[in-house]
Amino acid sequence: MVAIGGALRRTLFRARTYLRLVYLLLGAALVLAFGIVDLGVLGTLATAGVSMPVLVLLAVPIVVIPPALLGLVPAVRQVESVAAESLLGVDFPDGPPGPATTWPQRRRTSVWFLLHLLTGLIAGVGLAIVVPLAITALVLPFTDDKDGIWWYVPAGIGMLIATVAVCIGLGAAVTALAPRLLGPSVDDRFEALEQRAARLSERTRLARELHDSVGHALSLVVVQAGAARKVRDTDPAFVAAALDAVEEAARTALTDLDQVLGLLRDEESADPGEHRPVADLRQLDALIAATRRAGLAVEPEVTGDLARVPAVVSRESYRIVQEALTNALRHGTPPVTIRLDVRATEFGIETVNAVASGRPSRRAGRGLRGIQERVAVLGGELSAGADDGRWRLRIRLPLPREESR
């Protein structure tokens, strides 16, 4: 008894209990709104001469269907989730869910919405009807001379306790149900896990490639440096060549390191938390201006709305263009033409420039690798090659369809 009393006291003196009551009363307010409409409709039908049994039959769909339909609206999931978190105190592990994106989510939200109205109705009836009744019952024996109504007092107390208990119970029940109906379903979780796994395996692949390319370069550096030390006094020409090779290999390795770390970092900053502005296609004009200042004539041609390109693709595309311009600056002959083409389901990037004759294409090939990695991460296609003395790089990146975004 003491334990129950203690628990009751703790429950009654907790702010959460009353916040939950607020949530239930919100449901009651909604019931009131729907109820006014329902009464109007039923009243109209009654005056139109619809018989009582038919009216009773019609009442159920007339009452249930409108809120059920409203519950299917995607935004309801977000509104209800935020309310459930702040008022009911539901702890969604990944934060309150956003608007519904799939039909199962919409259906579950609809069920939840009906549940919210039903519990609101019960709580509303309790507070608006039972509580005044109880107060009347408590007061009446002291103000009325009638005999034999002393039992009104315990009955009133009983009604008050019952109302409080029902409200607390309903609050606890909806709180327990919220994660199941509003939170991510098994399918949602599975999908999130798959996405996470794909991201992780992508990171692992990038890390392994980094490991391989840097390992390769450092081995080369060690072998060449060791050999140079060994023949220092006998073969000065070899030593000079070795120094060149060491410089080149170390530089390439650092470039690779930089690029891959950049890709990994981009993924990290896609998570909330550390926010650093990352350049995307909105900064394209500045990039082109800077490239021109560096002495490369650039002719951009943009078709379609660049603002339609999703942020991730935009960032990676900026880097791709940047890399392509750097390559052109190193190996090509101006001018460089850049064509960006935003279509319904794909984004095309094309760069064309003349190739300086007699230059080896080996280093250009290395610069291309960074671009290739970005394209691969985005699931795009790349073709590059020289034709007719012109170097042409063509990239196609898939874009999500507009309605699914």
Partner 1 sequence: MSPVRVLLVDDEPLVRAGLRAIIDAEPDLEVVGEAGDGAEAVSQVRATRPDVVCMDVRMPRVDGIEATRLLVARSESPRVLVLTTFENDDYVYDALAAGAYGFLLKRSAPEQVTAAVRTVHTGESLLFPDAVRRLARAHRGRGEAERPGLPMLTEREGEVLRLMARGLSNAEIAAELVLGVETIKSHVASVLSKLDVRDRTQAVIRAYESGFVPLR
Interface residues with partner 1 (CB under 8 A) are 211-212, 215-216, 218-220, 222-224, 226-231, 234-235, 238, 241-242, 245, 249
- Using CA atoms, how far residue 170 sits from 110, 150, 174, in Å, is 18, 31, 6
Could you tell me the end-to-end alpha-carbon distance of the chain, in angstroms, rounded to an integer? Answer: 56
SS3 of 378-394: the string is: CCCEEEEEEECCEEEEE
Q: How far is the CB of 360 from partner 1 (least distance, A)?
A: 13
Nearer to partner 1, 241 or 290 (CB): 241
Q: How far is the CB of 368 from partner 1 (least distance, A)?
A: 17
Q: How far is the CB of 386 from partner 1 (least distance, A)?
A: 22
CA dihedral 264, 270, 275, 279 (to 10 degrees): 70
Q: Alpha-carbon torsion 221, 226, 232, 235, what sign?
A: negative
Q: How far is the CB of 366 from partner 1 (least distance, A)?
A: 13
Considering only CA atoms, which of 173, 59, 15, 180 is closest in space to residue 111? 180
CA distance 37 to 46: 14
**Number of Cβ within a 10 Å radius of residue 254:** 12
Nearer to partner 1, 206 or 239 (CB): 239
Nearer to partner 1, 10 or 232 (CB): 232
CA distance 278 to 288: 17
Q: How far is the CB of 254 from partner 1 (least distance, A)?
A: 17
Burial bucket for residue 143 (CB in 10 Å: 0-12, 13-18, 19+): exposed
Q: How far is the CB of 241 from partner 1 (least distance, A)?
A: 8
Q: How far is the CB of 263 from partner 1 (least distance, A)?
A: 22
Q: How far is the CB of 208 from partner 1 (least distance, A)?
A: 11
Burial bucket for residue 3 (CB in 10 Å: 0-12, 13-18, 19+): exposed
Q: Alpha-carbon torsion 70, 73, 75, 81, what sign?
A: positive
Nearer to partner 1, 222 or 270 (CB): 222
CA distance 332 to 327: 7
User: Long-range pairs for 63-70 at CB < 8 Å and ≥24 separation?
Assistant: 63/34, 63/38, 64/114, 66/34, 66/37, 66/38, 67/30, 67/34, 67/113, 67/114, 67/117, 68/110, 68/113, 68/114, 69/110, 70/113
CA distance 89 to 92: 9
Q: How far is the CB of 212 from partner 1 (least distance, A)?
A: 8
Nearer to partner 1, 59 or 223 (CB): 223
Element (H, E) at 224: helix 186-230
Nearer to partner 1, 59 or 227 (CB): 227
Nearer to partner 1, 127 or 223 (CB): 223
**What does the block give as tokens for 19?**
């916040």
Q: How far is the CB of 260 from partner 1 (least distance, A)?
A: 17
Nearer to partner 1, 229 or 359 (CB): 229
Nearer to partner 1, 55 or 231 (CB): 231
Nearer to partner 1, 133 or 223 (CB): 223
